[in-house]
Chains A and B, each alone.
Chain A
């Protein structure tokens, strides 16, 4: 069984409302039951309500797998990077420190690394991952490129990310503003090194233009 090739995962952190539904639903998945593999990060909780859900991006050339001394992390033919194979993982933690997206988690007591595997027991039979099933704002979306194109005409899915001088291609897409993609078809993550989230203080300055005119629904 394998994930159908036409189905993709799309992540749109701007839409995340921090409801934690994905975190709860993730624990229901059979491949990591009881453990949530999604990271719902408050970027700066004291200053902002901004949150970002982070799932495994399923890199084309996974750094986690390359730096694994036990050769325990495998990418299946459908492009899904699986959790460490249990007989092999020696719980060194290389993958945890090496992953550019900060995804894998180490469980020292069980001597195993686990990570988001796109709910392989579900996606391999054509179902949606648990998080995408419950996300009320569709910050996490699982479907075809056509579907996401119709839902978000102003957005463009991007699957190239820059970390320093390294560019990583992934199977999971990030939704980026459409107009910019032509000029910059990748997400420069390290450029956000000094960025801080927008403050949560509400400004009462009247807007000069209709703020909702460009908002997608």
Chain B
């Protein structure tokens, strides 16, 4: 049987992105000249992750509410009249929300600190390892200067630095710093998951605990590699290298399926904020029952469309023609909930009293 259209479309997008990444690996490593064969396992894991993440992202975008926000978000962001202000605002919101994690710190200081440490540790590690794995970055000694290294990015020479310098030390130990950040964040997150009653009752192993274990395993085995070659004359280095590779590859395989997929979903928050900006410039929808403003009219219109796409039938027969339940504000919905019960009891009591009289 042929898979549904959504799945075929998602598979095509997944295949396309994987093919582009593979082509970029070949181009960036200059026909694999700078590709490290020892990292081939990582490369295939990243290619698989690219396919699966794109597939899931595409499936996600095809859900009616997501599709609506995706289209509307880009449409309002790219409106020529507001594009300049939107670009400035996008930078500000990206900085506050993503670089500083402001909204997560507001949920809790320790929670914010844990996320911030894990996030920046992972960002730093990804910025180093992915280009290395794909052969997009490599180091060569400067001809005639054995004490200097030249960085090549995508095959083009970039900055050079002294091997035995502070910069050299910082660059060569980049993954150590990232591991320390991640371990500190994971410790804080695990502490919360052990003592917080809410977290204990809601957490699921595969969704909430597994990613922390994986990140911890990557960081610890990575640090053990450094410890092995720095202080232990390479003791058990091959074993540790394989162990580290297994943890990284497992995480890459887990990336599209579990909690870490929020890395790719989360930027939608910025699109939603511009959609809200556009909605606030329009007149608000007024409740059909109480007449009070309760939501942007654009949002209510779009939501009615989404609900119809999903098969909901909240249409009502009103005295003045067709109406929709979404045109009633949440407060009136709650009031009607109580009134419906009270009305039924009054009706019942009246019927009983009438019965008594008969």
How many chain A residues touch B (Cβ–Cβ < 8 Å)? 73
Per-residue CB contact flags for chain B residues 49-91 toward chain A (1 = under 8 Å, else 0) read 0000000000010010110110000000000000000000000
One digit per residue, 1 when the CB lies within 8 angstroms of any chain B CB and 0 when it does not, for chain A 180-191 equals: 100010011111
1/0 per position for A195-217, CB-CB distance to B under 8 A?
A: 11110000000000100001000
Other-chain contact of B340, A112, A125, A192 (Cβ < 8 Å): A192
Contact with A along B316-336 (1 / 0, CB 8 A): 111000011110111111111
B349 to chain A, nearest CB (A): 7
User: Would you call B316 and A190 a contact (CB within 8 A)?
Assistant: yes
Complex: chain B residue closest to A175, CB-CB: B341
Tell me how far the C-beta of B98 lies from the nearest C-beta in chain A, rounded to whole angstroms: 11
B26-34, B120-128, B304-312: which one contacts chain A? B304-312
User: What is the distance, in angstroms, from B293's C-beta to the closest C-beta of chain A?
Assistant: 12
Does B200 make an interface contact (CB < 8 A)? yes
Given contacts A100-B333, A195-B339, A67 and B310 within 8 Å (CB-CB): yes
Contacts of B330 in A (CB 8 A): 96-97, 99, 102-103
Task: Name which of A19-27, A68-76, A129-137, A143-151 contacts chain B.
Answer: A68-76
Chain B residue numbers with a CB within 8 Å of A67 are 65, 303, 306-307, 310
Whether B336 lies near A13 (C-beta < 8 A) is no
Check B269–A91 contact: CB distance below 8 A.
yes
Cβ-based interface call for B166 (8 A): no
Q: Are the CB atoms of A165 and B313 closer together than 8 Å?
A: yes
Interfacial chain A residues near B335, Cβ < 8 Å = 41, 43-44, 52
Question: CA A120 – CA B303 in complex, angstroms?
Answer: 29
Counting chain A CB atoms within 10 Å of each CB, which of B259, B299, B317, B338 scores highest?
B338
B residues less than 8 Å from A39 (CB atoms): 334
The answer to whether A63 and B307 touch across the interface, beta carbons within 8 angstroms, is: yes
Judge if A54 is at the interface, Cβ distance under 8 Å.
yes
Q: Which residue of A lies closest to B97 (CB)?
A: A111
> Which residues from chain A contact B352 at a C-beta distance below 8 Å?
179, 214
B347 partner residues in chain A, CB cutoff 8 A:
177, 180
Indicate whether A159 reaches chain B with its CB closer than 8 angstroms: no
A94 and B325 form a contact (CB under 8 A) = no
> Contacts A39-B334, A100-B333 known; A164 to B324 CB distance under 8 Å?
yes
Residues of B contacting A44 with CB < 8 Å? 335
Contacts of B196 on A, CB cut-off 8 Å? 30
Does B272 belong to the interface (CB within 8 Å)?
yes
Instruction: Give Cα A13–Cα B344 distance, bound, in whole angstroms.
Output: 12
Q: How far is the CB of A105 from chain B (nearest CB, A)?
A: 9
Please name the residue on chain B nearest to A167 by beta carbon.
B313
Residues B351 and A179 in contact, CB atoms below 8 Å apart? yes
Q: If A14-B342, A163-B325, A165-B314 touch, does A87 touch B262 (CB 8 Å cutoff)?
A: yes
CA distance A68 to B335 in the complex (A): 24
- Chain B contacts for A31, CB-based, 8 A: 198, 201-202
| A181, chain B: closest CB distance, angstroms | 9
The answer to whether B269 touches A97, judged by C-beta atoms less than 8 angstroms apart, is: no
Q: Is the CB of A180 within 8 A of B344?
A: yes
Say yes or no: is B353 at the interface (Cβ < 8 Å to chain A).
Answer: yes
> What is the count of residue pairs linking A and B with beta-carbon distances less than 8 angstroms?
212
Complex contact A189–B299 (CB within 8 A): no
Please name all residues of chain B whose beta carbon is closer than 8 Å to the beta carbon of A187 when the two chains form the complex: 337, 340-341, 344
- Could you tell me if B324 and A124 are in contact, using CB atoms closer than 8 angstroms? no
Q: CB distance B325 to A109 under 8 Å?
A: no
Q: Are A88 and B262 in contact (CB under 8 A)?
A: yes
Segment 261-299 of B: residues with Cβ below 8 Å from A: 262, 265-266, 268-269, 272, 275-276, 289, 294-295, 299
Chain A residues within 8 Å of B262, by CB: 87-88
Using Cβ atoms and an 8 Å threshold, which residues of chain B touch A5?
A: none
Q: Once the chains bind, are A101 and B326 in contact (CB under 8 Å)? A: no
Does the CB pair B333–A101 fall under 8 Å?
yes
- Whether the Cβ atoms of B325 and A164 lie closer than 8 Å is yes
Is the CB–CB distance between B340 and A69 below 8 Å?
no
Interface residues of A in 115-171 (CB under 8 A from B): 120-121, 124-125, 163-166
Q: Name the residue of chain A whose CB is nearest to the CB of B341.
A: A13
A8 smallest CB distance to B (angstroms): 17
> Interface 1/0s, chain B 196-227, versus A by CB < 8 A?
11101110000000000000000000000000
Return chain B residues, CB-CB under 8 Å to A193: 289, 316, 318, 328, 336
B63 to A69, Cβ gap below 8 A? yes
Contact (Cβ within 8 A) A90 B338 = no
Residues of B within 8 A of A180 (CB): 344, 347-348, 351
Q: Determine if B36 is an interface residue (Cβ-Cβ < 8 Å).
A: no
User: 5 tightest A-B contacts by CB?
Assistant: A52-B338, A102-B330, A177-B348, A102-B333, A164-B316
**What are 18 inter-chain pairs, A to B, with CB distance below 8 A?**
A1-B201, A14-B341, A14-B345, A30-B201, A31-B201, A41-B338, A70-B268, A87-B259, A90-B268, A90-B269, A90-B272, A111-B103, A112-B107, A120-B201, A163-B316, A175-B341, A180-B344, A192-B336
- Residues of A whose CB lies within 8 Å of any CB of B are 1, 12-14, 16, 30-33, 39, 41, 43-44, 50-52, 54, 63, 66-71, 82, 86-88, 90-94, 96-103, 109-112, 120-121, 124-125, 163-166, 174-177, 179-180, 184, 187-193, 195-198, 209, 214
